[in-house]
Structure 1
Amino acid sequence: MYPILAAGTLEVQEITVLLLALAAMLGLARILGELARSLRQPAVLGEILAGVILGPTVLGNLAPDAFLYLFPQEGAAAIALEGVVVISATMLLLVVGLEVDLETVWRQGKSTVAVSALGVAIPMAMGMTIGLSAPQWLGAGSSEHGVAFAIFIGIALSITALPVIAKILMDLNLAKSDLGALIISSAMLNDLIGWIGFAVVLALITGEGTGGMPVWLVILLTIIFLLSMLTLGRSLLHRTLPYVQAHWSWPGGVMSFVMFIAMLCAAATESLGVHSIFGAFVAGVAIGDSTHLTERTRDTINQFISNIAAPLFFASIGIGINFVDNFNLPLVIVVLLIALTGKIAGCVLGAKLTGMSTRESWAVGFGMAAQGAVGIILGELAREAGLINDELMVAIVVMALTTSLLAGPLIQKVLGSTTQKRLQDYLGDKYIVIEPEAATRDDLIGLLAQRAAEITDLDATNIKRLTLDRERVLPTGLPNGLAVPHARIDALKKPCVIVGTSRWGIDFNAADGRPAQLIFLILTPPDQPEEQIQLLGLIASTFNSAVVRQRAMAAKTSTEFLAALNVGSATPADDKE
C-alpha cells in the first residue's frame, strides 16, 4: 500500500495514531487561532494554547494514557510526527524570508540601518552579558556551549517578528505610511541579521558538520552559500520566474517552484550541520526579492503555509513542554524586561539619530519590540538543539507573546489621538480628478501632482519625483481597488489630498491583485507626521463600506464624488466588508 516505505516501518496502528495526532493538532489549533483572531489577538496565541491543551500541561495531567496514545514518545509514529514538525518549521521560515524585500531595505538607506543596527546591538549586548554571567540561572541546556548560549540569548532578545509587525501596522492603518515603511524595512534587516547569527550559533553547537568538518569550515561554507544565493542565485531565480509564470499553471506551478527551491536550500544547510530552516529562509529572501513574484502570489503561498504549517508547528511546542511545571516567574520577568528595554531603547535611539520626532521614534521602538512567532520559532529550535532548557523556552514564549500584544496599543498610545476630521474636510471640487487620461501609475501620479501644484503653488515635477521615490520603497496599493501614494514636501504648509478615479483601474501592486480605481495622492509637511497617519486612517475607514466605494467609483463629477463620501456616515454595518 505504501511502496515508498520499507516493510514494517509504519504499521497500520502507527499510521492511524499519526493521522489522529495531526488532525487533533491542526483542528484545535485552527479553532483556537481563529478565536484569537476574533478577539483581535495574534493567531499564534491560540495555536500554542492548542498544544498546551493537547500536551502534558492539560491532557497529560487529566488523561495521561490518552496523551501517550496520541503522542507516543518513541517509535515510528513519533519519528514521523517529528519529521512533519521539522518540515512545518522549514516552510514557516520560507514565508519569513519571502517577506524580506532587500530593495526596500536598501532604498530606506541610513534610517533602516540606524534603527536595525542599534535595535540589534543594544539588546544583543544586554543578552550576551547576562548569558555569559549567569548561564545556568538563565536556563542554559549545557555548560559546554557557553559562547553559543550567550550569542543565542542576544539574538533571542533582539529578533523582530516581521509578519506580526506587518499585521499590527495594517490594523492601525499605518502599513503604507512613512513610519510603517521604516518599521517594516528595519524589521527585514533585523531578521536577516538575526537568522545569519543563529546559523552561526547552530554551527558552534554541533562543533562539527556532516563528515566531520571543523566548525570554521561549516561557518565558511554557510557564508558562501548565503552570498551565492543572494547574488547569483537571486539573479537566476529572477530570470526563471517569468518562464514559470508563463508556462506553468497558476498558482500551483509557482508554488511548486518556490517549494522546490526552498527544499533544495534547506537540504543544503542541513547537510552542513546548520538547521534546514536557515536554508529555507535564505531561499525565501532570494525568491521574494524578485519583482516578478507578485503580491498576490506571495499572499497565496503565505496563506497556504500559514494556515497549515504554522498551526502544526506552534501546537507542537505546547505538546513538548509542560508550561505549568516549567513556569519560572523571576526568569520570565527578567527575559521580558531585557527584551523590552533593550529593543525599545536601541530602536528609539536609532530613529532619533535619523531626525524623526520623539513620538515617531517611540512608535518605531514599540513596533520593533514585537517578537511573536519568529521569537518562538527561534527558541524552539534552540531547545531542540539542547542549547536551552524548558524553563527558558517557556519564558521566551511568554516574552514573545507579551511583546506582540503590547506593540499595537503602545504605538496607538504614543502617537496620541488627534482631533478627528472627516475626509471631506480635506477635499473640494478642485481636489478631485475624474477619469484622468493616464494608463500607468507614473502617468497618473504625474497628473495628480500637476493638480496639486496648481493648488499649492509648488513644483509638479518635484512632487511627482518624491511620490514615485516613496512608491518604489513600498507600493501603496490597498485591497478593494484603492491606492494611497504619498510624500512629505518641505515647502508645504498644510496637508493636501488629490483624488483620481480610474474606470479600468491602474496597477499599484495591491495584495489582492486588483487595479486601483480610487487613487489618493497625499502630501504632508515633514513636521506633521500625524496628519499623514490620520489621512490614511480616514481613507481606510471611509472606504471600508462597499456602498461608498461603488458610488465613488461611479461618480461622473466631483460633486457626485463628495456626495458619495457623505453616504459613509449613514452606511449600515452590514454594508462593510
Structure 2
Amino acid sequence: MGFKIEMEIKMRYLSEQNIFIFLIQVFCLLGLARVLGELFRRWKQPPLTAEILVGVFLGPTLLGRFAPSVHNYIFPNDIVQQSMFDTVAWLGVLFLLLEIGLEVDFSSAWKQRGDALKIALTDIIVPMAVCLTACFFIPARYLTNPDQRIIFAFFMAIVMTISAMPTSARALYDLRLSKTDLGFLIMSALSVNDIIGWLIFTIILGFFTQVKVDVLNLIVIVICTFGFSIFCLSIGRKIVDAVISLFKARKMPQPGVPLTFICLLGLACGAITHKIGIHALFGFFLAGIMAGGSKALSEETRSVISQMVYAVFVPLFFVNVGLKVDFLNNFNIVLVLFISLIGIFARFFGAWLGVNLTKISRANRLTIAIAHTPGGSMEIVIGLLALEYNLITEQMYVAIIFAGVISSVILGPWLNYSIRKRREVSVLEFFSRENILPSLKYEDRDRVIMELCERSSKHLETHSTDDIFLAVIKRENIMGTALEEGIAVPHARIPSLRKPLIVFGKSVSGVYWNSPDGKLTRFIFLILTPQEEDDSQVQILASIVKSMSESETRDAISSSSELNEMWNILQKTFAATQITKKKKK
C-alpha cells in the first residue's frame, strides 16, 4: 500500500531533479541553438539548419554515441523528463503555426485571387499528383505498415507539397524583394497554398487518427472543418479586428494586451479543431490568420510576436527534431535524394505551370516558381507528426528532415540567380536633383505621399497629382511599404507611363508609417513604374533598400539640409551600388 502511494506521488509531482535536468536541457539546447543560428544567419543560411544540428550533436547521433554517460545524464530515459521537454517543444510548433498565420494576409491574397489562386492551386494539385504517384513505388520496407500504403502516400504527398512560407519570406526580405509587387504576389500565392495545404493535411490526419472508420463521422469532420475555417476567415476575422481595434482605442498596454489576446485566441482555436477531430495545429494557424488580418495590429506588435516565437519556441522545437533519432544509423542516401528531388521538382513545376497560366511577365516567372520550392519547416513539422503517429519509419523521417533542410539551403542562392539574370537597371537613370524634397512639409503619411505625388506630376503631363496619389495610396493600403531604420518606399504602377520615375523626400521630424521596428519614417522614396513593365520596379526598389541600409548613408542625409549636398550623397551612393553589382556579376 505504501509503495502504491509513493508511486502515485511520483507520478503527480515533479522532483527537484526533474526540474534541475529540465533547466539544464533548455539552457544547453536554447543557448547553442541561438549561437549557431546567428552564425548560420550571417552565412545567409536558414537558422532551422543550425537548430536541427544542435539536436543531432547532443542527441543519440553524436553525444549519445561518443559520450553515452553524459548524454544519459542530460537526457535520461525517464518518461516524466521526456514529457517535460516534449511539451515545451510542441508549444514551439503550435506558436510557429500561429506566427505563420499572422504572416498570411488573407485580405490581400483574396484581392490577388486571380493570379495568386492559379499559382497556388497548381502548386497544390501538381505536386500532390506527382508525389502521390511516386510514393506508391517506395519499397514496403520503408513503411511501418504496408497495409496503410494509401494513407502513407497521402501523408508523404502533403509533406512534399506544402511550401515553407517563412523560409521564402525571409529569402525575399534578404534580397530586398519583400515590398515589391513581385514579393506581394509570391506571398499571396504562398498564403493560399498554406491555407489549402493545411486544410487538406488536417482532414487527412483526422481520418487517420479515427479509432474506428465511420463514414458518417468522417463526413461530420469534413463539414465541421470547412465550416469552422469559413467562419474564421469571414466573421471571425471581423470580430478579432474589432477586439484588437478596441484595445487600441482604449489605449491598453501595447504590445502586451494584443499579444495575450492572440495567444488565448490560438489556444481556443486549437482546442476547437482538436475537438472537431483534426490537429490543434490548424486551429493555431487559423487564429494567426484572423489576428494577422487586423489593420489595428501594428507592425511593431507583429514583430514582437515573431521575435518571441523565433527566439525561444521555434529553436526548442527544431532542436527536439534532432534529438528524436540516431541520424547516422537511419541515414539512407537513396531516400534522401528521392524525397528531396521529387519534392523540389514537384513544387517548382506546379508553381511554374500556374504562373504560365497568368499574364505575369516572363522575367518574373522563374523567381515565382523558385520561391515555392522550399519545404523547410513545414515539411519537417508534418514529418514529425507522421513519426509520432507511427506512420513512417525513422529512416523516412530522417530523409524528410534532410529534404526540408536542402530545399531551404538552396533557396537563397537559387533566387539570387534568378534576380541576377534580369537586365541591369540603374536608379540614376530615373532619379534627378529636381526630384528631391530636402524637407517635407507634413508629418502625416497620406499628406507626405500627396506632396511627393505633386512633385512627380510636374514630370508627367498626362497624369494629375490626384490620379497618381490614388494609385499609390491604394497600393500602400493593401501592403505597407515601411521598412526598418526610418525608410519607406511607396510605389505604384501608372498606366501609359513611359519609364520609371523616382522622387525622394526627407522628413526632419519623422512620420508615423507603422514600421516593423516602430521607428518614425524619415527617408521616403516614391517609385512610379509603367503598368506593363516588371523588371525595373524590382531592381530599383532592391537597389534603394540596399543603398539605404548603410547607416553612414542615412546619417549623412540626416545631417544635410542643402539640396545640392543631399543630391551628391544620393548620387554617390547609387553609383557605388551599381559598381558593386557589376563586380558581383
Query: Structure 2-normalised TM-score?
Result: 0.90
Q: CA deviation at 1:117?
A: 1.0
Matched, 1:229 2:216: no
Partner amino acid for 1:235? K
1:240 to 232, 243, 246: 243
Aligned to 2:579: none
- Report the CA distance shift for 1:111/1:507 in structure 2 as closer, same or farther (over 3 A): farther
Q: CA deviation at 1:493?
A: 2.1
Partner amino acid for 1:173? R
Q: Distance in 1 between matches of 2:147 and 2:476?
A: 50
Aligned to 1:575: none
Matched, 1:178 2:181: yes
Equivalent position SS for 1:116: helix
Q: Distance in 2 between matches of 1:52 and 1:149?
A: 26
Deviates more, 1:334-343 or 1:427-436: 427-436
2:81 to 65, 77, 83: 77
Aligned to 1:447: 451
- Report the CA distance shift for 1:7/1:358 in structure 2 as closer, same or farther (over 3 A): closer
Deviates more, 1:198-207 or 1:9-18: 9-18
- Report the CA distance shift for 1:294/1:209 in structure 2 as closer, same or farther (over 3 A): farther
Equivalent position SS for 1:518: strand
Q: Does structure 2 retain, via aligned residues, the 8 Å contact 1:210–1:272?
A: no
2:534 to 529, 543, 551: 529
- Report the CA distance shift for 1:32/1:336 in structure 2 as closer, same or farther (over 3 A): same
Q: Does structure 2 retain, via aligned residues, the 8 Å contact 1:366–1:407?
A: yes
Aligned to 1:136: 140
Aligned to 1:376: 380
Equivalent position SS for 1:48: helix
Q: Does structure 1 retain, via aligned residues, the 8 Å contact 2:423–2:535?
A: no
Q: CA deviation at 1:565?
A: 2.0
Equivalent position SS for 2:345: helix
- Report the CA distance shift for 1:403/1:75 in structure 2 as closer, same or farther (over 3 A): closer
Q: Distance in 1 between matches of 2:261 and 2:213?
A: 27
Aligned to 2:551: 546
Partner amino acid for 2:260? S
Equivalent position SS for 2:133: helix
Partner amino acid for 2:381? I
Equivalent position SS for 2:513: coil
Identity of aligned pairs, percent?
31
1:471 to 473, 476, 480: 476
Q: Distance in 1 between matches of 2:228 and 2:113?
A: 25
Q: Distance in 2 between matches of 1:396 and 1:468?
A: 44
Aligned to 2:164: 161
- Report the CA distance shift for 1:211/1:337 in structure 2 as closer, same or farther (over 3 A): closer
1:276 to 274, 280, 290: 280
Which stretches in structure 2 are left out of the alignment for 5+ residues? 1-8, 577-585
Q: What do residues 277-322 of structure 1 show as CA deviations (whole Å, max 9, x unaligned)?
A: 1211111111111111111101101101111111110000110011
Q: Distance in 1 between matches of 2:58 and 2:313?
A: 17
Equivalent position SS for 1:491: coil
Q: Distance in 1 between matches of 2:352 and 2:378?
A: 21
Q: CA deviation at 1:220?
A: 2.8
Equivalent position SS for 1:323: coil
Deviates more, 1:467-476 or 1:336-345: 467-476
Q: Distance in 2 between matches of 1:76 and 1:7?
A: 8
Q: Distance in 2 between matches of 1:391 and 1:365?
A: 29
Aligned to 1:507: 512
Deviates more, 1:156-165 or 1:442-451: 442-451
1:100 to 99, 104, 127: 104
Query: Structure 1-normalised TM-score?
Result: 0.92
Q: CA deviation at 1:546?
A: 2.3
- Report the CA distance shift for 1:568/1:140 in structure 2 as closer, same or farther (over 3 A): same
Aligned to 2:3: none
Q: Does structure 2 retain, via aligned residues, the 8 Å contact 1:484–1:536?
A: yes
Q: How does 1:16-415 map to 2 (within 5 A)?
A: 16-134=20-138, 136=140, 139-208=142-211, 214-245=217-248, 246=250, 248-415=252-419
Equivalent position SS for 1:455: coil
Q: CA deviation at 1:499?
A: 1.3
- Report the CA distance shift for 1:71/1:218 in structure 2 as closer, same or farther (over 3 A): farther
CA RMSD of aligned residues (A): 2.6
Q: What do residues 145-169 of structure 1 show as CA deviations (whole Å, max 9, x unaligned)?
A: 4433222222211211111111111
Q: CA deviation at 1:569?
A: 8.1
Q: Does structure 1 retain, via aligned residues, the 8 Å contact 2:164–2:376?
A: yes
Q: Distance in 1 between matches of 2:271 and 2:110?
A: 29
Q: Does structure 2 retain, via aligned residues, the 8 Å contact 1:496–1:524?
A: yes
Q: CA deviation at 1:190?
A: 0.9
- Report the CA distance shift for 1:215/1:533 in structure 2 as closer, same or farther (over 3 A): same
